[in-house]
Amino acid sequence: MRFPKDFLFGAASASYQVEGAWNEDGKGVSNWDLFSKIPGKTFEATNGDVAVDHYHRYKEDVKLMAEMGLESYRFSVSWARIIPDGDGEINPKGIEFYNNLIDECLHYGIVPFVTLYHWDLPQPLEANGGWTNKRTTDAFVKYANVCFKAFGDRVKHWITFNETVIFCGHGYLLGAHPPGILSDPKKYFQATHNVFTAHARAVSDYKKMKQFGEIGITHVFNPAFSIDNNAENEKATYHANQYSTAWYYDPILLGTYPEYVVKQLAEKGWTPEWTAEELDILKVAAPQNDFIGLNYYQPQRVAKNDVQEDSTPKSREQSTGAPGNASFDGVYKTVKMADKVYTKWGWEISAEGFLEGLRMLKVAYGDVKMYITENGIGDEDPIIQDEIVDIPRIKYIEEHLKAVKKGILEGINLKGYYAWSVIDLLSWLNGYKKQYGFIYVDHTNNLARKKKLSFHWYKQMIATRGEE
Ligand code: BGP
């Protein structure tokens, strides 16, 4: 079987991780511009001031994407480039940069898939309480409308937010992302609710503009599986799926919050301040979502957790783990298993878990259209005689694409696959050593680009549409 004609093969990036030019052409300061410079916050003590200089080299990069045969490029817009203080004047130079990037993609027939928020929040909004403050929600809706108006004639695929669980979880539970707060579940749940209403309002506004494109959100997809058949572990797994999947997917796709979690939050005093009007906004927007984006790296292996404390992991070190793998004391915990395979950074490799998780989503949410908006392996790629021989990446992507193919054959509504990442870039906590790209960036030689083995492999895969 070949992948269907309308299935998009792409690759992704995010503004802070690739652009650099952090204070050029009128860009405002973002929370990450500051946070990454606080000593001890990132493990490699580096930042995205220059990143891989995509801001100045986007033409070279898009040309390489075209050479690879990429059908779509998922990138994010830096809010602080468009509205430097987050909520005030528009910066024409910021609009110009993304106009140029979009036009460059279209010149080569590459479909731009645009994420509005991939974690770099204008600092003035962060300083006012960030996502726990509902004024940030208002500011986001305004910013989203600016982008729809400026780019909507050419951009027909929009993602509002990337991985709410990560920037809220790392921001308010693990202290590893801005604003660096540890173990504050009340703020965490409030922030997630504010993000969901921001998303819902942006979706409704977009639909009213009749630009005839599609809009959705991207979530972490880390389905939970019990470590064994023990009834208590299976119960804990149900709870894990409620906390890490239902809490995120239900308000978007069903317009309601999962009862089990709502009840738990009430018992623990963590219920967000939500108004009837906001809950209604979620309901109205839910059927207007065109798709859901899934970022899959690994599943969660779950066991019961008997510790009767209030919150989630207490130490910053635990934040190096997989996206969304927070454990809730007294509810569930995620564990490593001896018979599973892990990357150097301890992320499990499991294409089976991917397919099984997709099946679970179909049962829970029916035929909703889905894009895999991120999938890939972080590695220190071997260089042999000047060639980047990233065979583990080829193997990883090949196996996961096979799972996607099987899913399509089983009737799961999958419409595209975006490898993370198109080019080597800044890993939020691990710097530049953890590589994900098809294109290597030489930090010892003026950030020169070089094609990896996987570049040629992905090119061939796209050209044959995955025919085996
Ligand atoms: C996802 C993020 C990406 C990217 C990826 C890999 O959660 O959406 O931006 O960073 O994870 O993560 P890391 O760089 O931590 O290995």
- Nearest atom in ligand 1 to the alpha carbon of residue 163 is 8
Quote the ipTM score: 0.99
Predicted confidence band of residue 319 (pLDDT cuts 50, 70, 90): very low
- Nearest atom in ligand 1 to the alpha carbon of residue 218 is 8
- Predicted pLDDT of residue 40: 80
98-107, 259-268, 300-309: which is most confident = 98-107
Q: Is the per-residue pLDDT at 379 higher than 50? A: yes
- Nearest alpha carbon, ligand 1 atom 6: 427
Q: What is the DSSP letter of 332?
A: B
How far apart CA 121 and CA 171 sit, in angstroms, is 12
* Substitution candidate for ligand 1 out of 16, 17, 342, 427 with most atoms within 8 A of CB: 427
Tell me whether residue 75 is in a domain: yes
CA of residue 43 relative to chain centroid, distance = 20
Domain count across the chain = 1
User: What are 430-453's pLDDT values in tens digits?
Assistant: 899 999 999 999 999 999 999 999
- Predicted pLDDT of residue 42: 75
Share of the chain above pLDDT 70, in %: 95
Note whether 423 and 61 are within 8 A (CB): yes
- Nearest alpha carbon, ligand 1 atom 14: 427
Q: Is the per-residue pLDDT at 323 higher than 60? A: no
User: What are 384-433's pLDDT values in tens digits?
Assistant: 999 999 999 999 999 999 999 999 999 999 999 999 999 999 999 889 99
Cβ within 8 Å of residue 309, ≥6 positions away: 329, 330
Measure 112 CA to ligand 1 centroid, in angstroms: 20
- Predicted pLDDT of residue 329: 55
DSSP letter for each residue of 44-94? T---SSSTT-HHHHHHHHHHHHHHHT-SEEEEE--HHHHSTTSSS---HHH
- Predicted pLDDT of residue 328: 60
User: What are 203-217's pLDDT values in tens digits?
Assistant: 999 999 999 999 999
How far apart CA 412 and CA 417 sit, in angstroms, is 13
Measure 323 CA to ligand 1 centroid, in angstroms: 8
Note whether 163 and 100 are within 8 A (CB): no
- Predicted pLDDT of residue 311: 42
Q: Is the per-residue pLDDT at 302 higher than 80? A: yes
Q: Could you tell me which of 299, 415, 394 has the C-alpha nearest to residue 356?
A: 299
Note whether 43 and 430 are within 8 A (CB): yes
Here the CATH number for the domain that contains residue 203 is: 3.20.20.80
Structure tokens at 43: 């493990």
Q: Is the per-residue pLDDT at 222 higher than 70? A: yes
- Nearest alpha carbon, ligand 1 atom 11: 323
* Substitution candidate for ligand 1 out of 16, 222, 318, 374 with most atoms within 8 A of CB: 374
Predicted confidence band of residue 166 (pLDDT cuts 50, 70, 90): very high
- Nearest atom in ligand 1 to the alpha carbon of residue 434 is 16
Average the pLDDT over 282-290 and give the result: 98
Q: Could you tell me which of 437, 454, 442, 427 has the C-alpha nearest to residue 36?
A: 427
Q: Is 393 helix (H, G, I), strand (E, B) or coil?
A: helix
How far apart CA 202 and CA 288 sit, in angstroms, is 11
Average the pLDDT over 333-356 and give the result: 93
Q: Could you tell me which of 83, 119, 87 has the C-alpha nearest to residue 98?
A: 83
Tell me whether residue 134 is in a domain: yes
Q: Which residue has the tokens 């239900």?
A: 250
Structure tokens at 446: 């003026």
Note whether 137 and 198 are within 8 A (CB): yes
Tell me whether residue 225 is in a domain: no
User: What are 244-273's pLDDT values in tens digits?
Assistant: 899 999 999 999 999 999 998 998 899 999
C-alpha pair distances (Å), 468 with each of 3, 356, 402, 410: 11, 22, 10, 18
Note whether 16 and 118 are within 8 A (CB): yes
Average the pLDDT over 364-378 and give the result: 97
Measure 427 CA to ligand 1 centroid, in angstroms: 6
User: What are 3-55's pLDDT values in tens digits?
Assistant: 999 999 999 999 999 999 999 999 999 999 999 999 887 777 799 999 999 99
* Substitution candidate for ligand 1 out of 319, 381, 420, 423 with most atoms within 8 A of CB: 420
- Predicted pLDDT of residue 305: 79
How far apart CA 415 and CA 9 sit, in angstroms, is 9
- Predicted pLDDT of residue 173: 86
How far apart CA 207 and CA 213 sit, in angstroms, is 9
- Nearest alpha carbon, ligand 1 atom 7: 323
Average the pLDDT over 86-105 and give the result: 98
**Mean of per-residue pLDDT scores for the chain:** 93
- Nearest atom in ligand 1 to the alpha carbon of residue 347 is 16
- Nearest atom in ligand 1 to the alpha carbon of residue 220 is 7
Q: Is the per-residue pLDDT at 322 higher than 70? A: no
- Nearest alpha carbon, ligand 1 atom 10: 427
Tell me whether residue 259 is in a domain: no
Measure 275 CA to ligand 1 centroid, in angstroms: 33
Measure 47 CA to ligand 1 centroid, in angstroms: 14
Buried b / exposed e over 217-229, threshold 16 CB at 10 Å, is: bbbbbbbbbbbee
Measure 345 CA to ligand 1 centroid, in angstroms: 12
- Predicted pLDDT of residue 161: 98
Average the pLDDT over 104-108 and give the result: 98
Tell me whether residue 234 is in a domain: no
- Between vectors from CA 444 to CA 441 and to CA 43, what angle results, nearest 5°? 75
Q: Is 348 helix (H, G, I), strand (E, B) or coil?
A: strand
Q: Which residues does ligand 1 sit against, CB inside 6 Å?
A: 14, 17, 162-163, 166, 295, 323, 374, 378, 420, 427-430, 434
How far apart CA 114 and CA 72 sit, in angstroms, is 10
- Paired residues of 342 in beta bridges: 348
Structure tokens at 401: 């694409």
Structure tokens at 283: 């309901």
- Nearest alpha carbon, ligand 1 atom 12: 427
Half-sphere exposure of 75 (CA within 13 A, CB side): 29
Tell me whether residue 408 is in a domain: yes
> For 368, phi and psi rounded to 5 degrees?
-50, 140
Q: Could you tell me which of 453, 165, 198 has the C-alpha nearest to residue 324?
A: 165
Tell me whether residue 321 is in a domain: no
- Predicted pLDDT of residue 468: 80
Tell me whether residue 409 is in a domain: yes
Q: Is the per-residue pLDDT at 318 higher than 80? A: no
Q: Is the per-residue pLDDT at 147 higher than 80? A: yes
Measure 284 CA to ligand 1 centroid, in angstroms: 31
User: Where in the sequence numbering do the catalytic residues fall?
Assistant: 374
Domain residue limits at 177? 8-220+285-296+345-463
> For 80, phi and psi rounded to 5 degrees?
-70, -15
With the CA atoms of 142, 143, 145 and 147 taken in that order, what torsion angle do they form, in degrees rounded to the nearest 10?
170
